[in-house]
Structure 1
Amino acid sequence: RCQTAATFERKVARLAAKAASFAELVFADGPVELPLEHGERVNTRGWWHDRGLRNDDEAVSEVLRRAWSEHGPFDGLLGFSEGASAALFYCHLVAAHANSTPAASADGSAGPDFSGLSFAVMAGAPAPAGSALASPVFELPSLHFASAADTVVSLSDSKKCALAFRAAEFCQHDGGHCPPQRAEDVRHLVNFLEAQRDKILPASSVSEFGMAVAGEETEDPRICPDQRDELEALGAMLAPEELYRAAPAWPVRLAVRLRRGEGVSAALRFTLRPAYPQAAPCFCELESDDLALQAHERELLDAMEVAREPLGFPSVMAMVQAAQQWIDEHEADLAARAAGRGDKAAPEDGEDGEEEAEAWWLREEAEVEDALVAEAEAKAAELMPDGADKRGQWARQCGAGGYGKPWEFVVGLVGKPSAGKSTLFNAATRPESSDREATMAPHPFTTIDPNVGAGWFAAPCPSAQLGCQDSCQPEHGRAHGGRRRFPLLVKDVAGLVPGAYLGRGRGNAFLNDLCDADSLVHVVDASGRSDREGVDHGSAGSGSPKTTDPLDEVGWVRREIHLWMFCNVRAKWGSVRKKAKMANAHGSREAVADRLFGLFTGYRASRQLAQAVFEAAGFSLQHSAEEVVAWGEYELHLFVACFLRARFPIVVALNKADTPEAAGHVARVKSVLGDSCIPVSARSEWWLYEQQRKGHLSYVEGAGAESVTLSPEAPENVREQWEQLRKKVLEPYGSTGVMEVLSVAVSRRGPIFMCPVSDFSTLEGLVTSCPSAPAGRSASAKLATMLMLRPMSTVEEAFGALKHEQMLRGDLVRAEALVSDTTDRGSPQVQVLRRDDVLRSHGVEPHAHVLRILTNKKAK
């Protein structure tokens, strides 16, 4: 209850990942739409208005029957909380159908045939409604999870539900009201599912080929004509000993033997879903006792996916042929691996035994040594300190695909719940209407889905060096301190809680939302009043053990992001080591680097960046194969920590700086982190913006108290609030910090700013011919237009960005830069640039280039 199919899917994401090789999970929404609660933006669902009254049984039955018809048939059920009651109701439907409808007459005409349901899994299941079951009524094997710490469904009620099944297995945990989350519970459930899978299609079937395929007279009438034709074709093309059909006949499950030498068993298992091939693909997995083939399972399955036919066409034979071709082409590698790991060649040092038992890369996600994480983070900070990428080399390699067009910079807001991310989002994006505002409330998880909006930061402006500050007309307006407003995208995602990398809170769904961010702003509660779950204990709670030290908060949030990435890579480390061992044996190191660095491309980074970080962390690319085989857990932690610093520069926003408790914390945290943290009062910035919209004051975004002018008509309460804001925020910190923290987050990636002009004498900005361009780009004005480019962009890439924005046409003929002479205060000089000249910033601060680029065609 009080969830949706999507939220339940996120809660069991770890299970889905662990069982992905042999099981498909389908999620269904309950029929009852629940009213919105405070802070919710999407209605959650339930199965009954009142489970005791059972008034919604017909609606529940309709949902379950429709799910079976459209997505089934199913082998088993998985239900949590009220969903477990729905699963129990499903079992009743199956039992009723079995008692009322003869199996021989099942043709689907009167609704779905529930035959084939083999097991049930329930977590936090309430006691059966309506009666206390004194004896088991269901023959299905079942697995039940329950907790004595569950405050929603008691342990005794869940045990009553288990009594309804004759072959019930009961598992007790201490996690409260939740589906299986701990590593051992998920492993228990996966083992149960594998056991049920092997009952449906026995593993021994690989050695039992030759069993007769069901004849025409015994075929189930529910098998569609396309599947029937494909089965007939397979029977004609394959020998009897190469094809196996499992019972029951529907849905169709079959296995096809692969040729792989004497004494080696290998087969492909296929499940043909009812909608296959017209509307759904077939499901396939490899079964083999060959360790050499198991080591290359991913490559084999990838080759098969390439051969899979589009929907509407049969795929089984094409996939089988692709698999057999891959095996034939890689026979030498498979034989070499088998020779090194077979019975005749025992391991020299027992390492293979370690790999199967105690190897660090085979540990569960929760098994992490905190001391190694801390040591690796400290070493990474030493090797790659914040702001060290002054030349933008990391950023260049990170965004390799984004050159030749303007950089649409994305800042991700991260932090625990209720740290003020949504308030900072609103203050940064300044939405013009309430429907565009992020939900703000002092309780956890006010944000469920990411909020994305256009925000503003302070970019450099060349007008000061060129002596035209008064006449300069930036298209997005001026900013404080001679800078100009420039847009970027701000992404506010759900709050991060300890254990998010294990699936707590929104877990990996939250972390995956950050993959497209260029920099991260970690929003910290500088008051220290809230605990790690985001619960604010008030000003009296500052000394409470439940509250959080802001400096500690900085550490554990970075740790969550680190472990998210580390666990993703560690899960695939076995395949990396196998590649490395093969490279050592055959002298091919490119495969090791390709596999290792390829694991990091999912974070919107290039292999070149991963390679550069690998070397920056002190590892040798030349000896990568030898080093990777010898790596321990610490070395991978170090590589991940260095990659994280290169890929996701993090700036800390010490939010709620206006609270009484914040002053001491801000000074202490800044003494440790230096320029990597900025005092922020997002609430104050939002208040200034709202009062400006109401006409009570005027204010320059990002500036201090001197920029605020109260209106004569401002109410007295506004004047009082302004005085408090001035004393608590603007006087001690100089600004609210909102624009500053975004500006620092952008500068950490070393962007290049370019003002394209048509003439150096007038400095009129180029205009675009694109009809959907911002208004400022449709009319020429002095230094009006600015583009942001990725670090180390060349002149030719700058030209590509102008063509992308339809400011120029044709081919590049000549490029010139207007360079201010700072030595003798002379007039700016024109410098001719080559195509491959790299545009760089001068000094530490960002710099804006004024360029005039000539082509052989005029822009329309």
Structure 2
Amino acid sequence: MSVKIGLVGEPNVGKSTFYSAATQNEAEIGDFPFTTVKPNLGMTFFTVRCPDSEIGSHCNPREGYCENGIRHIPVQVIDVPGLIEGASEGRGMGNEFLDAVRDVDAIVLIVDISSGSIENIKNSINLVMNEIKKWFADRIYSDWDHFSRRSEATGERREIALRRKLSLFGVPEKKISEILEAEFFPARLSIWTMEDAYNLASAILKYAKPVVYAGNKGDKVDAETIRKIIETIPDMYVVSAEYELAVKRARNAGMIDSVLTGFKITGGNQRQREALEMIDRWFRTPGVVRIHDLVEKVVKNLLHYIVVYPVYDENKWTDKAGNVLPDAYVMVEGSTALDLAFRVHTDIGEGFIRAINGRTKMILGRDYVLKDSDVIKIISKK
């Protein structure tokens, strides 16, 4: 399973530039509505310290890569068409936009902060969030009378019925139970209204598909405005997709030795060198976040994912072919050894006998709660 992050926002906020800077792909970029007319799917990475240093062997990742002891774990990024008011009713590229959103794990809502106006920024956020909620609610409430009557006639539990209904949005059963425990909804499905469906849509975006805000074009405002924006709007991260893309292209052209803040300039003419020095200084502005750091915050802090390494040989940490730590599985915090077994293969999960901790060599039961960076061998009848 690869984590999937959706990039959403109104037209002309810099989504395609953000996407191009974050991924190995280049999206079409233009200063006009609907530059993106169909979803772009690319790959970026978040980083963790690789366990291979503990055994003195270099890992052989099947996906992603490892550099200087830092494992780069793939993350899918989907850039979807710009959203306008009325998109939930099919205006603009609304249907293409929202169909692409339903199977993402988290959403980065990109907003243009170049005006420096808190009111404008909040209005943009509210417009996009409202359209997504309305789209979700319309599809949740579609054919609701027939759905609710059938569910109540069979005596089906509410969460079971909603699991079937919400399968369209990729909401897992655990999240449905969490939503129903944390928020109030009528016990009888037959008395739900469109307002209840809208509230459920809001809960999905809170618990199952969390949202953070990327305040793009932060290079157009001063440091004091950046401070006010991040203090006023929770979950706001200030970025400059344009600067990020410039740094990425400079690295590809051999002008700098790294894309990380503090890079060393190794080429380019005088004007290019001065521009790169200015960009590096701006990246150090208090409150500014690099895009790769934002991706990492989404994966670790927002989605609460951990990374686990399944192996065949618990002593050498290899697979059957002798590859060292070939797989790095992204798992939700609280996942068990049995969950990992099913991730490896359904047959492995069904035949689960026990697991072994690659570090301590301790025997682990199916209910063992995985820890971040665990190295685990699964023993199965199949």
Shorter-chain-normalised TM-score: which range? 0.7 to 0.9
- The aligned counterpart of 1:670 is 230
Partner of 2:132: 561
Count of aligned pairs between the two proteins: 379
Q: 1:793 aligns with which of 315, 335, 345?
A: 335
Pairwise CA distance, 1:749: 2.3
Determine which of 350, 354, 363 is the counterpart of 1:832. 363
CA contact (8 A) 2:106 2:211 kept: yes
Supply the RMSD in Å over aligned alpha carbons.
3.5
In structure 1, the residue matched to 2:242 is 683
- Tell me which residue corresponds to 2:306: 752
Residue type at the aligned position of 1:519: A
**Is the alpha carbon distance of 1:721 and 1:786 closer, same or farther for their aligned partners in structure 2, counting shifts above 3 Å?**
same
Partner residue of 1:517?
A: 104
How far off is 1:576 after superposition? 5.2
CA displacement at 1:754 relative to structure 2: 1.1
Task: Say which of 727, 738, 754 aligns to 2:281.
Answer: 727
In the aligned structure 1, how far is the partner of 2:162 from the partner of 2:342?
33
Question: 1:709 maps to which residue?
Answer: 264
The residue aligned with 1:849 is 374
After superposition, the Cα gap between the structure-2 partners of 1:686 and 1:565, relative to the gap in structure 1 and judged at 3 Å, is: same
Which runs of structure 2 are paired with 1:357-368 in the superposition (5 Å)?
Answer: none
| 1:815 is the counterpart of 2:355 | yes
Shift of 1:550: 1.7
CA distances 1:413-444 after superposition (whole Å, capped 9, x unpaired)? 1111111111111112123xxxxx21011222
Closer, same or farther: CA 835–610 of 1 in aligned 2, 3 Å: closer
3-state SS in 1 of match to 2:5: strand
CA distance in 2, matches of 1:619, 1:519: 24
CA deviation profile, 1:614-646 (whole Å, cap 9, x unmatched): 3321346xxx22x752x5554443232112322
Structure 2 counterpart of 1:643, one-letter code: I
Deviation at residue 798 of structure 1 after TM alignment: 1.9
Other-structure match for 2:87: 500
Name the counterpart of 1:694.
253
Q: Deviation per CA, 1:112-161: give whole Å up to 9, x if none.
A: xxxxxxxxxxxxxxxxxxxxxxxxxxxxxxxxxxxxxxxxxxxxxxxxxx
What is the alpha-carbon distance in structure 1 between the residues aligned to residue 59 and residue 379 of structure 2? 23
User: Is the 8 Å Cα contact of residues 794 and 835 (structure 1) preserved in structure 2?
Assistant: yes
| Structure 1 spans left out of the alignment, 5+ residues | 1-406, 432-436, 529-541, 770-778, 820-828, 842-846
Whether the aligned pair in 1 keeps the contact of 2:9 and 2:83 (CA below 8 Å) is: yes
Helix, strand or coil at the partner of 1:495: coil
Aligned counterparts, 1:165-204, within 5 A: none
AA matched with 1:816: I
Q: State whether residues 765 and 785 of structure 1, in contact with CA within 8 Å, keep that contact through their aligned partners in structure 2.
A: no
Shift of 1:695: 1.2
**Between the two proteins, what is the percent identity of the paired residues?**
24
Larger radius of gyration: 1
Is contact 2:11-2:32 (8 Å) kept?
A: yes
- Find the counterpart in structure 1 of residue 213 from structure 2: 652
Give the C-alpha shift of residue 815 in structure 1: 1.9
CA distance in 2, matches of 1:440, 1:650: 24
* Aligned residue in 2 for 1:551: 122
Alignment of 1:93-242 (within 5 A): none
Written as runs of structure 1 = structure 2, the 5 A alignment for 1:558-707 is 558-575=129-146, 578=149, 583=152, 589-590=155-156, 597-606=163-172, 609-619=175-185, 624-625=187-188, 628-629=190-191, 631=192, 634-660=195-221, 663-674=223-234, 676-699=235-258, 701=259, 703-705=260-262
Equivalent residue number for residue 291 of structure 2? 738
Alignment of 1:209-288 (within 5 A): none
Q: Note if contact 1:600-1:607 (Cα within 8 Å) is conserved in structure 2.
A: no
For the residues of structure 2 that align with 1:441 and 1:470, how far apart are their CA atoms? Answer: 48
3-state DSSP of counterpart to 1:556: helix
Distance 1:628 1:479 in 2: 56
CA contact (8 A) 1:817 1:850 kept: yes
What's the counterpart of residue 445 of structure 1? 34
- The TM-score, its normalising length taken from structure 1, stands at 0.40
1:849 alignment partner AA: D
- Alpha-carbon shift at residue 516 of structure 1 (Å): 1.8
Which amino acid is 1:641 matched to?
S
Q: Distance in 1 between matches of 2:120 and 2:349?
A: 56
